[in-house]
Structure 1
Amino acid sequence: MSGHSLVDWLRAQDEQVLVELLRARPDLATPPPADSSVLATRAGMRASVVRACEDLDALTRTVLDALAIAGADTEPQPLTRINRLMGKGVPAARTKEAVHRLRELAVAWGPDTALSIVPAATEVISQFPGNLGRAVPQLDEMDLPEVLTELDPAERRLLETLAAGPPIGRTKDAGRAVPLERAESPVQSLMARGLLVRRDNETVELPRQLGLLLRGDRPMGQVQVSQPELNVTGRSVSTVDSTAAGAALELLRHLEGLIALWSAEPPGVLRAGGLGVRELRRVAKELEIEEERATLLVELAVDSDLIDNSGGGEPEWVPTTHVEPFLAAAPDQQWATLAVGWLELPRLPALAGRRDDRDKLLSPLSNDLRRPNAVRERHRVLGVLAELPAGSCVGSAEDLVAALAWRAPARGGRMRDDLVRWIVAEATALGIVALGGLSTAGAALLNEGPGEAAKRMLDSLPEPIDHVLVQADLTVVAPGRLEPELAADIAAVADVESAGGATVYRITEKTVRRALDGGRSAAELHELFAKRSRTPVPQSLSYLIDDIARKHGQLRGGQAGSFLRCDDPALIAEVLANQDIARLELRRIAPTVLISPLALLEVLEGLRDSGYAPAAEGPDGAVVDLRPAGHRIPGRPQGTRRLFSPSRPSVEQLASVVRMIQAGDRAAEAPRGAAVSTSVLGTAATVALLQKAAAEGRMVWIGVVDSHGTASQQMVTPVRVAGGVLDAFDAVLDMVCRFPLHRITSTALAED
């Protein structure tokens, strides 16, 4: 039979009920409670109750509010009263389900005729449960319906407004209490009648009794019984996946641009850590993206160890040695690295650019963006989409905001709704979500891991294209994802002008010269476009390549410092006479050779700035590319990422804890003989009592202090006492345990 206290109720439950309780509230099981009284104490602690109530849906929280309003924290209440409080439109069956959930969490207990809640529950719910004010005992003596009929319309409207919630209002009249006959406003009149209560000089509160009365058949107000329906549109899975693949490729292109940008000019690290606003704007401008997307890019790059803080006296954000293997990997593998990194990122990139409670600007890559709930919230938001059939797309992020607000209104705090919007936007940028639905690769990432997710993304990516379309205006159109070799060739001779479903490249004198500087010959460039273009190669492009190639490399530079050579003595003389490049300190050592004390790269750049087209050559006379490869720092050792999975004890472990609790309950109820204290009577008396118990096969209570100084009471059956050690059978653990005698503080026979 269930008792009136939580302890009594817990003792009356079977093993399965208690196992489910510990599964739902794992903090109660650590360390294992000695008995039900310890378990009940923990279950009623405020911090534990807060955690237990975090994931309650809106209806269950409203039922908890109703229990608090009914006073179930001080006196058991019948379910019928709670049903009346929930009011019209709330099925009794749904209220009963919510009560059952609260019982599963031991936030509530007792039969339907006598429900109670832990006192701490009243501290974790709203200050105004059910949007109702506090009860005023004096009103219980008044005929409130009759009093309401005496009010004028303005006073009645004021009360009805406060009854709808919240029950407090700000008014300058709050601090001026006057007799009823001298009242000059509805507030003063209602205060004089005792129908409004003054909280401070600017605030009044509507008493709970009036709020309940004015709400009529809906005492808890408009209760949302079920989750708001998601506005779902069915789309073909292939459409969702192809859209996701396009987003993934665009993200990878931008990341490659970020790596190239910071390879050439690494930005500095702020003194307080993070990336400066100016540097973030530079990234956004150079890559032609929004600052929010730039923030996401740099956060993903640093998290994936593609970029890191160089440290030292003037630290910079520098690409690491992990960049080259990453860029050489297939797009699906690159995507999987970024996607799993984002899913497990313990930070909120969207907070960058906002200000904290102290009005401090939050910077990308700073510690200020760390949030312990970030990973769990991403899984929670994407979990809603994962529940839908494949191809189901939610019309708006606001639908998810409403659904998740109902599922767990207490989660996320003030940022609860913004978190959902941020997560959906970032998941869409990564291709985990597309068109409002979970992509096949995104679903695999959640359920099967990064390996399977990469395979699904590979299936979604368009087949690489082996051709381009060269236009008369010297643009090159790539109508899809190019083969890696072709992409590298085109990138060497052209710059990206626009990207999307098709990428448009622009060929200029500068880009052709860049290709020639990189070691490609004019013949190779002609062959590239002749073989790879599906459109005729325009004459203007052929002329441009030949014209640049004709001038390119006439001057040859080597390291001496550096030297210049040319088969045309007249050109050598022209260069030597050019005052614009006097700073290069060129000196003729032969009719066709000049030397300089400056580095070759500096000499070549100076000549190019003055309109010449020199080329660098190696010892064999072949053209070499002297462009710097970019800054790199060593990367951190990389391990295998594990997807988020809350660490929970197994059912078997929890069952063992429950058996220990139940054994503690039986032992606590068992009569025991007089205790022998080791500190008073010494070890000899303890040994004698234990040896007697071992000889007679009797159970004993022993007080033990473990190696951490924690004291506990255990009931065991001694088997042998020798060598300063007690070997005893523990029925809870179903094994013989060993206890050093010097750790046993007291012993008592368990009476039959």
Structure 2
Amino acid sequence: MPPLAEWLRERSDDDLVALLRARPDLATPPPSDTSVLATRAGVRSSVARACEDLDSFALSTLEALVLLDADREPVDSAAVAGMLGASITPQRVRRTVRELRALVLVWGEDDALNLVPAVREALPTFPGGLGRPADDLDDPAAALAGLDEEERELVGKLARGAPVGRTKDAANRVPLERAANPVQRLLAKGLLLRRDAETVELPRQLALAVRGDEPMTGVVAEEPVPELTEPGQDAVDATAAGAALELLRHLESLLHAWSDDPPDVLRSGGIGVRELRRTAKALEVEEQVLALLVELAVAANLIANSEESDPRWVPTYQSDTWSASMPEQQWAVLAQAWIDLPRLPGLIGARDEKDRLIGPLSEELRRPTAGRERRRVLSYLDELPTGHGAAPDDVLAVLSWRAPRRGGRARDVAVRSTLSEATVLGVVAHGALTTAGRVLLADGPTGAARQLASALPEPLDHVLVQADLTVVAPGRLEPDLAAEMKLVADVESAGSATVYRVSEASVRRALDAGYGAEDLHALFRTRSRTPIPQSLTYLLDDVARRHGKLRAGTAAAFLRCDDPVVLAEVLGNPATAELQLRQIAPTVLISPLPLSDLVEALRGAGFAPVAEGPDGSVLDLRAAGPRVRGKARATAPPARTGPPEEQLGELVAHLRSGDRARGVRRGSAVVPEHGRPSAEATLQLLRDAARERRDVWLGFVDSNGTRSQHVVRPVSVGGGVLQGLDTGRDELGHFPLHRIMSVALVED
């Protein structure tokens, strides 16, 4: 049995459970015994996955073990500490070795550490920034002392950075006396190794001589400590609540805008840059924020591709339900969609491999691991003391140290964009995680919505009417009041306080929706904390007096008015000539145009008609906009998982049973027929073993097709099932006879 398998066999059950938990790929499918487990633990792909979550110092420790050839001969942990540098203590190394040992990347005791060979393949080509050793460089210190200034400068440059360099001087070998530059002289002295015609490499011995008591570069033993800010949790939650309300306001505006004028879906998917800029200008929002809103709306199933012959991005039926929900519920839907979003909106505006701009909703943004990386950033902020925040650079430094192999530009973009997007969403404020954000990570959107509700300012039941026909909402309004204000006035500016403007058009809009003049007077009289100016009273009365004098119906459409003079004015107006109006009574005109077109054209001519239903009631002709059925929201794939926690102990027992079965001596066996043992012979052998109280060895296949080996002491055989004591697990087992693939007596 290989030494690693023997070492694993000596581990405790708790150690093996911890291993299978930390490296779940080793448990799928369940290994039949410890030898199989040891083989899997040394597979390169599995080792590479295990290294993904190692911190910077753990990876440096593995590199030191590689440099010491621990995959060929055992090494002492003190030698590892010496390779890592004079500032690294043996205690620090031993602590990290314990972590690596738990992952079975390293095995053996501290004075005889062995490295799994596949680790060498999973690490960089130049561990510790050191090249290959030269075969005949026995005294590097003397060689270094004999260099001139130019040669020493070149050697120092290669020793401090990557050990390889590109130069045309490597193409030909020249004798030392003909060498014209430092590269040629070092090659002639054997102090540079020629890799190919344009590449040279500094020998490891010479680099170590230059570095002295710091043999490896880039060794950082401890996690960087960020410079924390302390805005206070109350300030964080209050600021985030304001950001959340602003986000919801912008998204409602987006839904209304795209309901009236849905943008086209590009042939390659996504939305055009011109459409995005046009919408951003109309909504008065930054393009990057709007791009995030679009991604969130589609992820939350509020906007979807209509998938027609001329596809457009259209609000869904679910968006109406969302719009009618409370603000905290609206926010929770968006926040959860963002947490799970398998895309990276932070790349919007960058260029792809073909130098094309990456737009919202494009396939180039798809990143299956984006959700996991988003949670990593937020989880780090969750570790900080309550009410404390950190700058993006500090967060990036910490996460880079914790998992260097999850690196590169994608990680930098993911960290910075996560913090930026979380701030827009109100999950983060002042660089700190909000209370609602903490609940969102731990408990999900329902609890987070309740938490945000407690942080939102109490909704106001009043407004402040100004003399210039503006209405100021000094904070968040009650839903009913907010809906009425949107109907009777237009938003002029928004923020912590919203300013509305009442105009003739907005008053007419309210009257069209069924409000009467007295209703509007009562609205402002009961809801305003300031006196109602005369200008507003005159405006309401004037618009209401003219409103509805003309009554439009379907004939295709008709106009009726109790005052024949008004109808004569309509007929005589040049702007109404295209309406094809015809008088059929002193107080009635008819038109072949649809009712909505007739009303709109008359308003454009300066009149103020209303639409009338069959019963004489006022009709609201405002279009609700198209709607489509959304699709199921795309979520990030689940993180790599193994068997459930409660099954890990069972797997270890399975391993122990397999080890015992492999170690026994087998005697007489049933000869297989057509790949499996004879049923009669199997029954007879098992019955004899039960009568004589002898152990049998079983080759068994469970219902999942997993093969295993067991040593069993039969108790009874009947009903197609063998019942016996599984000696590897020390428990009674039930083995269907049709799943027994081989059987033999165990010799003492």
Taking structure 1 as the reference length, the TM-score comes to 0.93
Q: Does 1:397 align with 2:392?
A: yes
- 1:678–1:686 CA contact under 8 A, matched in 2: no
Which residue identity does 2:462 align to in structure 1?
H
Q: Which residue of 2 aligns with 1:570?
A: 565
Deviation at 1:727, TM superposition (A): 4.4
- Larger displacement relative to structure 2 (568-577 or 218-227): 568-577
Which residue identity does 1:506 align to in structure 2?
R
Q: Which residue of 1 aligns with 2:613?
A: 618
Q: CA-atom RMSD, angstroms?
A: 2.6
Q: Which residue of 1 aligns with 2:97?
A: 99
For 1:300-355, what per-residue CA distance to the aligned partner results, in whole angstroms no more than 9, with x for missing partners? 22222222233333333222222232222211122122212222222222233434
Deviation at 1:642, TM superposition (A): 12
Equivalent runs, 1:634-649 vs 2, <5 Å: 634-635=629-630, 649=643
Q: Which residue of 2 aligns with 1:537?
A: 532
- Equivalent of 2:48 in 47, 50, 53: 50
Q: Distance in 1 between matches of 2:275 and 2:569?
A: 42
Q: Distance in 2 between matches of 1:115 and 1:518?
A: 81
Q: Distance in 1 between matches of 2:443 and 2:200?
A: 56
Deviation at 1:86, TM superposition (A): 0.8
Q: Does 1:548 align with 2:543?
A: yes
For 1:243-265, what per-residue CA distance to the aligned partner results, in whole angstroms no more than 9, with x for missing partners? 11101111111111111112212
Q: Distance in 2 between matches of 1:587 and 1:278?
A: 45
Q: Does 1:473 align with 2:471?
A: no
Equivalent runs, 1:119-134 vs 2, <5 Å: 119-134=117-132
Distance 1:196 1:688, change over 3 A: same
Q: Distance in 1 between matches of 2:389 and 2:705?
A: 57
Q: Which residue of 1 aligns with 2:176?
A: 180
For 1:203-250, what per-residue CA distance to the aligned partner results, in whole angstroms no more than 9, with x for missing partners? 322222222221111111242111111111222221111111101111
Which residue identity does 2:662 align to in structure 1?
A
- 1:26–1:648 CA contact under 8 A, matched in 2: yes
Q: Distance in 2 between matches of 1:644 and 1:506?
A: 49
Q: Distance in 1 between matches of 2:171 and 2:561?
A: 96
Q: Does 1:424 align with 2:416?
A: no
- Equivalent of 2:732 in 728, 732, 735: 735
Q: Distance in 2 between matches of 1:708 and 1:532?
A: 69
Which residue identity does 2:734 align to in structure 1?
C
Matched residue SS, 2:389: strand
- Equivalent of 1:332 in 328, 335, 355: 328
- Equivalent of 2:661 in 663, 667, 673: 667
Deviation at 1:367, TM superposition (A): 4.3
Identical columns (%): 55
How many residue pairs match? The answer is: 745
- Larger displacement relative to structure 2 (569-578 or 4-13): 569-578
Matched residue SS, 1:630: coil
Q: Which residue of 1 aligns with 2:296?
A: 300
- 2:711–2:728 CA contact under 8 A, matched in 1: no
Q: Which residue of 1 aligns with 2:625?
A: 630
Deviation at 1:436, TM superposition (A): 0.8
- 1:656–1:732 CA contact under 8 A, matched in 2: no
Q: Does 1:135 align with 2:133?
A: yes
Which residue identity does 2:442 align to in structure 1?
N
Matched residue SS, 1:322: helix
Distance 1:529 1:702, change over 3 A: same
Q: Which residue of 2 aligns with 1:676?
A: 670
Q: Which residue of 1 aligns with 2:697?
A: 701
- 1:191–1:198 CA contact under 8 A, matched in 2: yes
Q: Which residue of 1 aligns with 2:368?
A: 372
Q: Which residue of 1 aligns with 2:227?
A: 231
Distance 1:119 1:87, change over 3 A: same
Which residue identity does 1:123 align to in structure 2?
E
Equivalent runs, 1:160-199 vs 2, <5 Å: 160-199=156-195
For 1:379-428, what per-residue CA distance to the aligned partner results, in whole angstroms no more than 9, with x for missing partners? 2111111112211122x111100011011111255411221111111111
Deviation at 1:281, TM superposition (A): 2.5
Q: Which residue of 2 aligns with 1:113?
A: 111
- Equivalent of 1:491 in 469, 486, 489: 486
Q: Which residue of 2 aligns with 1:67?
A: 65
Q: Distance in 2 between matches of 1:170 and 1:699?
A: 68
Matched residue SS, 1:702: strand
For 1:285-307, what per-residue CA distance to the aligned partner results, in whole angstroms no more than 9, with x for missing partners? 22222222222212222222222
Q: Does 1:86 align with 2:80?
A: no
- 1:344–1:644 CA contact under 8 A, matched in 2: no
Distance 1:646 1:29, change over 3 A: closer
- 1:519–1:625 CA contact under 8 A, matched in 2: yes
Distance 1:279 1:698, change over 3 A: farther
Q: Distance in 2 between matches of 1:452 and 1:542?
A: 46
For 1:659-698, what per-residue CA distance to the aligned partner results, in whole angstroms no more than 9, with x for missing partners? 2212222222222225432138855444433332222222
Q: Which residue of 2 aligns with 1:205?
A: 201
Deviation at 1:479, TM superposition (A): 1.1
Deviation at 1:56, TM superposition (A): 0.8
Q: Distance in 2 between matches of 1:357 and 1:35?
A: 47
Which residue identity does 2:87 align to in structure 1?
G
Which residue identity does 2:324 align to in structure 1?
A
Q: Which residue of 2 aligns with 1:444?
A: 439
Q: Distance in 1 between matches of 2:29 and 2:326?
A: 48
Q: Which residue of 2 aligns with 1:35?
A: 33
- Equivalent of 2:578 in 558, 576, 583: 583
- 2:714–2:724 CA contact under 8 A, matched in 1: yes
Deviation at 1:71, TM superposition (A): 0.9
Gaps of 5+ in 2: none
Q: Distance in 2 between matches of 1:279 and 1:424?
A: 27
- 1:4–1:110 CA contact under 8 A, matched in 2: no
- 1:412–1:419 CA contact under 8 A, matched in 2: no
Distance 1:488 1:684, change over 3 A: closer
Q: Distance in 2 between matches of 1:653 and 1:403?
A: 34
Distance 1:36 1:539, change over 3 A: same
Distance 1:685 1:521, change over 3 A: closer
- 1:677–1:745 CA contact under 8 A, matched in 2: no
Which residue identity does 1:658 align to in structure 2?
V
Matched residue SS, 1:713: strand
- 2:347–2:413 CA contact under 8 A, matched in 1: no
- 2:507–2:543 CA contact under 8 A, matched in 1: yes
Q: Does 1:218 align with 2:209?
A: no
- 2:346–2:413 CA contact under 8 A, matched in 1: no
Distance 1:469 1:183, change over 3 A: farther
Taking structure 2 as the reference length, the TM-score comes to 0.94
Q: Distance in 2 between matches of 1:740 and 1:355?
A: 63
Distance 1:37 1:546, change over 3 A: same
Distance 1:391 1:537, change over 3 A: same
- 1:679–1:745 CA contact under 8 A, matched in 2: no
- Equivalent of 1:655 in 649, 653, 664: 649
Which residue identity does 2:429 align to in structure 1?
A
Matched residue SS, 1:658: helix
Deviation at 1:522, TM superposition (A): 3.2
Gaps of 5+ in 1: none
Matched residue SS, 1:750: strand
Deviation at 1:496, TM superposition (A): 1.8
Q: Which residue of 2 aligns with 1:561?
A: 556
Matched residue SS, 2:484: helix
Q: Which residue of 1 aligns with 2:591?
A: 596
Distance 1:7 1:611, change over 3 A: same
Matched residue SS, 1:326: helix
